[in-house]
Structure 1
Amino acid sequence: MSANNNPNESHEVTQSLADSVSSLAFSPKANFLIATSWDNQVRCWEISKNGITKTALNTTLKASISHDHPVLCSAWKDDGTAVFSGGCDKQVKMWPLLSGGQPMTVAMHDGPIKDIAWIPEMNLLATGSWDKTVKYWDTRQANPVHTQQLPDRCYAMSVKHHLMVVGTADRNLIVFNLKNPQTEYKRIVSPLKYQTRCVAAFPDQQGFLVGSIEGRVGVHHLDNAQQSNNFSFKCHRQNDDFYSVNSLNFHPVHHTIASAGSDGAFNFWDKDSRQRLKAMKRCSQPIPCAAFNNDGSIYAYAVCYDWNKGAENHNPATAKNYIYLHLTQDDEVKGRPKPRTTGRR
């Protein structure tokens, strides 16, 4: 029932999707939303706020392109002119969306591409793959600028220049200082006991978040003097069941955190005061991915099967695929004062 899929009464993006959504990404310049999907498609919607009421949104499908195989990841160029998408066809396409140009292949790997990031400070595209490499690309050249070997398959990647964090299989977390991208800055084993699902670099580049399949988030600082401030917290759990943390996003203004998980819930957190700001009602299907728009006023999230229970538990006849837009409220995303009892300065 649609009511169960949308218990938070978010705005539904209009467009039927043939398969699960794998990534969401907002333009850094305007309210254009990209969604990639297991149906091999990359779609772009323009989102506008209704001038009469601030609580209404209009969504218009602007364009779409196809890959040869499922698409797993997406990113925007910093000027908002182009979109990058990669996945199981082992290539990244650059789509000059706003100019109406045709997509062109700008990166290749020997295995599926799991995550990508545009690094405007370097004018390079970083791509992480299951072939156990990260590659840096100047999109005007056919060959990578540099290929960095990883200890295992790339599962997640996050960049806040100069910091890049790559989570791989076997719970490795590889940290790079992009001032010297050809050398690992630090390698640690995840503070969480189970497989890494997502990572998010702090906006101030002083550390990162890591989410696991066991419904837990780790907050990790890079400075050895800050290690006492490292902690982890439980989320996306219900009774004795725990669910994967699929998405971690920092609010672009307040730098609070949104987490989304396989339990069908999304929550807002303040890592500095160590508080949950808001718990949203659970949807009837998992949330595999989510994203804030450029000013943090809209939080987009997908509601669809995320394959966490295998193909045998997927029923295409009953499982629908949705993208919803939540208009954030100040009390949900603004940080709160640190509790006085912590003794922290």
Structure 2
Amino acid sequence: MSFLQASSTTSTSATTGQELINDITVNNPPEDTVSDLSFSPQQDLLAVASWDKKVRIYEIDPSSGNNQGRALYEHAAPVFSTSWTFDGTKVVSGGADKQVKLFDIQSQQAQQIGAHDQPIKCVKYVECGSTNTPAVVSASWDKTLKYWDMRSPQPITTINLPERAYCMDTSQKLLVVGCAERHLAIIDLNNPQQIFKTTQSPLKYQTRTVACYPQGNGYAVGSIEGRCAIQYIDDAEQSKYGFSFKCHRKQPNATTSTTSAIRGSTSNESHAYAVNSIAFHPVFGTFSTAGSDGTFCYWDKDAKQRLKSFPGLDQTITATTFNRTGTIFAYALGYDWSQGYMGNRPDYPNQIKLHAVKEEEIKQKKKR
């Protein structure tokens, strides 16, 4: 069955496992856990950052799912983050070697464009101010955020963060950094030299992932205890529309892998798993969550509704992303060390899967 046919088959029960059976496996995956996935905004090229110290770029045929390696470059230590320039000609990355690197797709050359005093946890490409000045922004465990203009080894600006950076996302003129001790730093890229607002995550435990809404008016936060919070920049919008919900939880006696719905679980006892990745759909503005329980789900924040839950995969999902048209959902399976070194079996898979997104899975449902 082809990739497109798989996307048009009728929906079967999530508990059967049939829905993911046609998901395409990416050839020649990384040799260690995938830390980040990023699709080009211009074509179906997927950049993959891994603990094996490499960034790989794969070319994907959107109609068949066929894929092949297009490029590869290395860091001196595990790579934690990767992102594309808006024109799709370059990839940026950062990691434990404390370097920001820029890779040119055309020339296949990588160069260092920045550095921090501690490992770099996140990198993004942004456009700042009313003139949309391009820059690479990096956030580090050294508690700083730096902007780079890609031609100079000196940062344009350095901002002190409230704590170590754990995650970061951007959309429109919004940049949000999730830091240690549940701090969130919000930056308006119209005024990129300073933090617009610092706040605490409404979730009680450590922040694992953050994702900005496509409109740039808010963000979703995921934490290690299987919770997600829907947040807005505007205080009035926040008080009206903001909320948090449980997800990526398993009843210990359940035979199937399920997640509790937004409206809460019926049983008192459940095992909570980290929400490792949140990704917003570029067309419908709905979103996915994926976790250490090995499941991913699609949600509609405006209707406070779970749209679709998928069968469990018995491996942690470490990273996810949609392609620019929202027709492919890429997710990475690998070990996340949540079970300590004892859980790292030699046969634990490192895989990247491509799921053909059906419109009925991800589109908002009509109000009854």
**TM-score of the pair, normalised by structure 1:** 0.92
The answer to whether the aligner puts 1:188 opposite 2:199 as a matched pair is yes
- Deviation, 1:204, is 1.4
1:250/1:258 contact within 8 Å kept: yes
The answer to whether the aligner puts 1:116 opposite 2:116 as a matched pair is no
Give the whole-Å Cα distance in 2 for the aligned partners of 1:79 and 1:335: 30
The corresponding residue for 1:33 is 46
The corresponding residue for 1:251 is 281
Query: How many correspondences in the alignment?
Result: 330
Give the whole-Å Cα distance in 2 for the aligned partners of 1:30 and 1:208: 25
What are the within-5 Å matches in structure 2 for residues 278-293 of structure 1? 278-293=308-323
The corresponding residue for 1:272 is 302
Look up the SS of the partner of 1:228 in the other structure: helix
1:8/1:281 contact within 8 Å kept: no
The answer to whether the aligner puts 1:62 opposite 2:70 as a matched pair is yes
Which has the larger displacement, 222-231 or 102-111? 222-231
The corresponding residue for 2:260 is none
2:91 alignment partner, one of 83, 93, 99: 83
One-letter identity of the residue aligned with 2:38: A
One-letter identity of the residue aligned with 2:32: D
Look up the SS of the partner of 1:332 in the other structure: helix
1:7/1:282 contact within 8 Å kept: no
Give the whole-Å Cα distance in 1 for the aligned partners of 2:133 and 2:365: 35
Give the whole-Å Cα distance in 2 for the aligned partners of 1:71 and 1:110: 16
One-letter identity of the residue aligned with 1:302: A
1:260-319 Cα shifts (integer Å, max 9, x gaps): 11111111000000111110111110000011101000000001111222223212x221
- Deviation, 1:185, is 1.3
2:29/2:352 contact within 8 Å kept: no
One-letter identity of the residue aligned with 1:156: C
1:117/1:159 contact within 8 Å kept: yes
2:20/2:355 contact within 8 Å kept: no
Give the whole-Å Cα distance in 2 for the aligned partners of 1:7 and 1:162: 35
1:272/1:338 contact within 8 Å kept: no
The answer to whether the aligner puts 1:10 opposite 2:23 as a matched pair is yes
Gaps of 5+ in 2: 1-15, 252-269
The answer to whether the aligner puts 1:100 opposite 2:140 as a matched pair is no
The answer to whether the aligner puts 1:154 opposite 2:165 as a matched pair is yes
- Deviation, 1:323, is 0.3
Gaps of 5+ in 1: 51-55, 340-345
The corresponding residue for 2:331 is 301
1:168/1:196 contact within 8 Å kept: yes
The corresponding residue for 1:174 is 185
The corresponding residue for 1:321 is 350
Look up the SS of the partner of 1:320 in the other structure: coil
One-letter identity of the residue aligned with 1:67: H
Give the whole-Å Cα distance in 2 for the aligned partners of 1:7 and 1:66: 32
Give the whole-Å Cα distance in 2 for the aligned partners of 1:279 and 1:238: 13
- Deviation, 1:11, is 0.6
Give the whole-Å Cα distance in 1 for the aligned partners of 2:324 and 2:367: 26
- Deviation, 1:176, is 1.0
The corresponding residue for 2:55 is 42
Structure 1 residues 59 and 202: CA distance shift in structure 2, 3 A? same
1:8/1:280 contact within 8 Å kept: no
Runs (4+) off by over 6 Å: none
The answer to whether the aligner puts 1:164 opposite 2:175 as a matched pair is yes
- Deviation, 1:7, is 4.8
One-letter identity of the residue aligned with 1:32: L
What are the within-5 Å matches in structure 2 for residues 207-226 of structure 1? 207-226=218-237
One-letter identity of the residue aligned with 2:163: D
1:110-137 Cα shifts (integer Å, max 9, x gaps): 1111011101333011101000000011
Look up the SS of the partner of 1:17 in the other structure: coil
The corresponding residue for 1:53 is none
Give the whole-Å Cα distance in 1 for the aligned partners of 2:367 and 2:203: 25
1:234-254 Cα shifts (integer Å, max 9, x gaps): 111101111000111110011
Q: Percent identity?
A: 43
**TM-score of the pair, normalised by structure 2:** 0.87
Give the whole-Å Cα distance in 2 for the aligned partners of 1:7 and 1:291: 16
Give the whole-Å Cα distance in 2 for the aligned partners of 1:40 and 1:87: 8
The corresponding residue for 1:230 is 242
RMSD across aligned C-alpha pairs, in angstroms? 1.7
Look up the SS of the partner of 1:253 in the other structure: coil
1:10-54 Cα shifts (integer Å, max 9, x gaps): 11001143111111111100001111111111111100145xxxx
Give the whole-Å Cα distance in 2 for the aligned partners of 1:181 and 1:135: 10
Give the whole-Å Cα distance in 2 for the aligned partners of 1:224 and 1:338: 26
Look up the SS of the partner of 1:288 in the other structure: strand
